[in-house]
Amino acid sequence: MGHVAGSDHAYRSLQRRLDRNVTGAPESPAFTRILQLLFSPEEAEMAARLPSRPTPLDVLARRLGLHPERLCETLTGMAQRGLVLDFERRGRHYFMLPPVVIGFYEFTFMRTRDDLPMAELARLFEEYMTKDDRFTRSVFQGNTQVGRSLVREEALPEGDSTEILDWERASRIVSSAHAVGVSLCACRHEASHLGRACDRPQETCLTLGYMAEALVRNGFARPITKAEAMRIMGECKELGMAQTADNVQHNISYICNCCGCCCGMVQAIKGFGLRNAIVTSNWIAEVDLSRCKGCGKCAQACPVDAIHIAQETQANGKRRWAVRDEGLCLGCGVCYSVCKQDAIRMKPRPRRVLTPEAAFDRLVSMAIERGKLAYLIFDDPSRLSHRALGRITSILEKSPPFKAAMAIEPLRSAFFNAIVKGAKKSQG
């Protein structure tokens, strides 16, 4: 367990470091207390110096002026407690500082633990995330988000000419992953410590690929077969849960099975009115009024309350029917599964939703939208020579001409491509 005593400066530095991440971490007494419980002062000081992108151990050791073996031992211990992320690829060890979400909030609650005061942490995270809107709005501002809705494949019309791509199919995402793990749903686990969790199962959070390997290695997930992952998703669908995935096309790292009562992303939509907190699928529910009886099952099942039941009095009695909110519908297909009248169909959206190709592309897009491009490009707190360039870029991205240019799609795309190409080249 971290220590509650120690240097206030270390925790303040770490909070500021986390706030530079694209999803942010606004200052709050509750958040300071969370950091004190999770990190010792020495660990907080170390974490505040780490990049937020995977960086090789030898590169980190040179930047921090530490012996690689000693640094590896320290960071590995922190990774085993969910304070940093570590990856192994092609014989090299990589480390990075995770954001609050998706990051060490999830790692805190993705497994049962006796090394932390879980009830107190649940209360503190609840206070930090829901008592005011600063944190939630810092995470979900802009159009590019960390999660996107997956449509239920069985809800799609047979023989539809609209192509559904591999990264839109949960079955294909799982079958193509080289590793799969399952963990506790952090949201429902946290809610259980607050005495308000629903009765749906908790071991439902699927991690994939290198993320699965990292979480399994550090005890945050257990390895499962692809068949077991498909079984878990099938059971969650039967229980009315929606599938939310990593908002990228390639190397998708997770699929969450989300309920409408505990999920943090869903609560951002329902509790704070942030309708775009989850990126929609390329499908949308359509109600066939000739079949709909207005039973209300779809409205009860919708995780984001995008359906309500309208009624009118007619000569032969009252008529009821379901009304879908086009701007709120996630395109998840949960309503389709509960409709016994065959009155709901999933149809293609008029305009396809743009999904970033990879995690770095998503980060660049989010950084532009949130005014944090400088922090992303010059993500090396130990090199003071970057400060001047970082300041110039920070001023540039906040200037009206820059914002106007980014509103022009061809320029926006060209800028993103140039930044991504340069950053990928610098990272090898």
Final residue belonging to a domain, choices 238, 253, 272:
272
Residue 405 lies in a domain: yes
Q: Which amino acid is at 18?
A: L
In-domain check, residue 380: yes
What's the CATH code of the domain at 49? 1.10.10.10
Q: Which residues of 170-204 are buried (b: 16+ CB within 10 A; e: fewer)?
A: beebbeebebbbbbbbbbbbbbbbeeebeebebbb
Q: Are 181 and 303 members of one domain?
A: no
Q: Is residue 2 part of a domain?
A: no
- pLDDT at site 91: 87
Same domain, 254 and 303: no
Q: Which one of 293, 321, 348 terminates a domain?
A: 348
Say yes or no: 169 and 231 in one domain: yes
Residue 155: domain span: 140-272
Q: What is the CA radius of gyration of the chain?
A: 23
Contact of 115 with 1, CB cutoff 8 Å: yes
User: Do residue 258 and residue 312 come from a single domain?
Assistant: no
Domain membership of residue 278 (yes or no) is: no
CA torsion angle 271 274 280 283 (round to 10): 80
For the chain, which residues score pLDDT lower than 70? 1-7, 159-162, 380-394, 396, 406, 412, 416, 419-428
Residues 234 and 303 in one domain: no
pLDDT at 95: 95
305-344 b/e with 16+ CB inside 10 Å = b? ebbebeeeeeeeeeeebbebeeebbbbbbbbbbebeeebb
The domain tally of the chain equals 4
Here the CATH number for the domain that contains residue 307 is 3.30.70.3270
In a domain, 105, yes or no: no
pTM for this predicted structure: 0.89
Q: Domain check: are 153 and 244 in the same one?
A: yes
For the segment 27-72, what is each residue's pLDDT rounded down to a tens digit? 999 999 999 999 999 999 999 999 988 899 999 999 999 999 999 9
Q: Is residue 108 in a domain?
A: no
pLDDT of residue 27: 97
Q: Following CA atoms 239, 241, 246, 248 in sequence, which dihedral angle do they give, to the nearest 10 degrees?
A: 100
Q: How far, rounded to the nearest angstrom, does the alpha carbon of residue 143 sit from its chain's CA centroid?
A: 14
Clarify whether residues 290 and 343 are in a common domain.
Answer: yes
Model confidence pLDDT, tens digit, residues 278-328: 999 999 999 999 999 999 999 999 999 999 999 988 777 789 999 999 999
Same domain (yes/no): 257, 182: yes
Is 277 within the bounds of a domain? Answer: no
**Residues 15, 34: Cα–Cα separation, whole Å:** 10
Tell me the per-residue pLDDT of 84-105, one tens digit each, with 9 for 90 and over. 999 988 889 999 999 999 999 9
Is residue 355 classed as helix, strand or coil in its secondary structure?
coil
Per-residue model confidence (pLDDT) at position 5: 46
Residue 354 in any domain: the answer is no
Q: Which domain-ending residue is among 75, 110, 131?
A: 131
In this structure, the answer to whether residues 184 and 251 fall within a common structural domain is yes
